[in-house]
Structure formats: structure tokens, C-alpha cells
Amino acid sequence: MVVPFNLLPSRAWRGFLDIVTPSQCLGCNVAVREPASLCVPCWAGLQHLDDPVCDMLGTPFAYDQGPGMLSAAALADPPEWDRARAAVIFDDASRKLVHALKYEDRQEAGFLMARMMTRAGRQLLAEADVILPVPLYRWRLWRRRFNQSAFLAQRLSRLSSRAWRADVLLRQRRTRSQVGLDLSERRRNVRGAFVIAEGMAAFVAGKSVMLVDDVRTTGATAEACALVLKKAGAAKVSLLTFALVPAPAKIHI
Ligand SMILES: [Zn+2]
């Protein structure tokens, strides 16, 4: 049977287009040689987070203070996780990649994001026993069709040869969108939202766990996850995101 193109699933249609058309920059659609890549101006337009960064928050330092240095913000209000890294600052340039994966279902954006995260999080990946995506609530997962953090966790697992699991950390209740909420409102919103799946506490105990998400805004969601993992006996919890929002109050995702 011949299926008309307009009835094919969008992903299959896109896969077909990838074969017959040259690769396009994920930022601006100009032709590029490599699939799942950015043109030179779009790449240069990203604010890459390279060392030196705060070991606990992953935020950039103006100058190198040596390995393991912590920022004043980390010392004043330490997060629930032990170490965090992000590949880029969340801005108009990186937002395009985040939205391409999250809302436009463009997996090639996720391939690039995961490659960049592997580089930014190489120290964290080296000590991780297992990679866990920040979970979505079932209803939201169904509506959005797939969980972008699980997609990134799976890619990171493949690139780093670390195990990943989506059945350990669960979101047990629906939370309202974090958009527009400040840090204390976000913390309240996600409190008690995450649980370890039944019978999985023994799996977590003593392990070095890496949490993965696409964007870290205030960190409230990741902190709620880290808290649950630490309570279950995780030895260490690290957080690797693609992007990091430097001043959460000013940016709406
Ligand atoms: Zn471009």
C-alpha cells in the first residue's frame, strides 16, 4: 500500500527529508556539511561554559582559581547536589536548540546538545555510576510525546558508556509549570513531587548518580530530585544540563 506523504508520521517524513536535502544549521537553516550541527556564526554565538567554573554550581568565574573552587553563591546557599555543569548559558541562541528538541521534535538538536554536554560534563560523567533524567509527569509526557531529558540521558549514556535508567526516579504528581515563578515559589511547587520507584532505593544506595535535564533555571527541580536521591542513600549527586539560566528572574523559557 502506498501511504500519501501527508499521512506519514512527522519523524519519518523528516528522516526522508534528511536523506534528500543537504544538512541545515540547527540555528539558522543555512546549509552545513555535518548533520546535527551549527554553522560557524551560530556556534560562535553560543556562550559556552568552559573552565574555570564553580565546582558546585557550574557558573563561570572571571579568572582561574584552581580546581574545585566554589563561588560565593555556592558557599552562601549550597545546593542539594554535589557538583553541576552546563554546556552553555541559556540565551536567544541556545534557546533555539532547546526549543527544537522540546517543542519541534527535532532529534538532531538533541544529538548536538548531548555531544556538547559530554564535553562540559566529562569530569562528572567519569565518576557517575548511573545517569537519571529528570522525569516528567505522565500526562505531560503523553501530551509532549517524549521526555527531552530522557532523550539527552540516553544519548549521554551512549556517548560515555555510562548506564542510564528512566525507571528509578519518578514524578508522582503533576506540578504547575515553573515558568514565571521565583525560586521560593518553584521550590514550593516541586516539593514532594519526586519519589524513588518502589524497590529502587537499594539500587540508588551508595551510587554516584548524575541527574540530566535540558535547562537549569533556578535549580529547584533538580534540588528536589537530589534531595530524594540523597535520602535514598545516593553517595553523590551531580547535575548536568545543556543550558544554565544566569539570572532566572529576567528570563522566561
Ligand atoms: Zn546557523
User: Which tens digit of pLDDT belongs to each residue from 9-28?
Assistant: 566 655 655 556 678 999 99
- Minimal CA–CA distance to 95: which of 14, 214, 225, 209? 214
Q: How remote is the CA of residue 244 from the centroid of ligand 1, in Å? A: 21
| 114 pLDDT higher than 60 | yes
What beta strand segments (E) does 78-231 contain? 83-89, 130-133, 163-164, 169-171, 194-196, 208-216
Over residues 185-196, the pLDDT tens digits come to 777 777 778 999
pTM: 0.85
Indicate if the pLDDT at residue 116 is higher than 50: yes
Instruction: Check: CB of residue 153 under 8 Å from CB of residue 238.
Output: no
pLDDT at residue 162, as a whole number:
97
The Å distance, Cα 179 to ligand 1 centre, comes to 28
User: For position 149, what pLDDT does the model report?
Assistant: 94
Q: What is the pLDDT of residues 214-247, one digit of tens each?
A: 999 989 999 999 999 999 999 999 999 999 998 6
The alpha carbon of 34 and the centre of ligand 1 are apart by a number of angstroms equal to: 12
pLDDT band at 140 (very low <50, low <70, confident <90, very high): low
* pLDDT at residue number 6: 46
For the chain, list the domains and their CATH numbers: 46-250 (3.40.50.2020)
C-alpha 24 – ligand 1 centre gap (Å): 8
For ion ligand 1, residues whose CB falls within 5 Å: 25, 27-28, 39, 42
**Strand pairing report for 194-196 and 169-171:** antiparallel
Q: What confidence category does residue 2 fall into, taking pLDDT thresholds of 50, 70 and 90?
A: very low
pLDDT digit string (tens) for 28-54? 999 999 989 999 999 999 999 988 999
Between the CA of 49 and the centroid of ligand 1 the distance, in Å, is: 19
From residue 26, how far is each of 89, 104, 185, 213, 219 by CA, in Å? 17, 12, 34, 20, 27
Predicted confidence band at 105 (pLDDT cuts at 50, 70, 90)? confident
Structure confidence by residue, pLDDT tens digits, 70-97:
999 999 999 999 999 999 999 999 999 9
Å from CA of 237 to ligand 1 middle: 35
pLDDT at 153 over 90: yes
Instruction: Tell me the CA–centroid distance for residue 40 and ligand 1, in Å.
Output: 7
Amino acid of residue 99: H
Separation of CA 181 and ligand 1 centre (Å) = 32
Residue with cell 530530585: 225
- Output the CA 26–ligand 1 centroid distance in Å: 6
Q: What percent of the chain has pLDDT over 90?
A: 63
Under the banding of pLDDT at 50, 70 and 90, the label for residue 104 is confident
**List of E strands, the chain:** 83-89, 130-133, 163-164, 169-171, 194-196, 208-216, 236-244
Q: Are 204 and 232 in contact (CB under 8 A)?
A: yes
DSSP-assigned beta bridge partners for residue 240: 85, 212
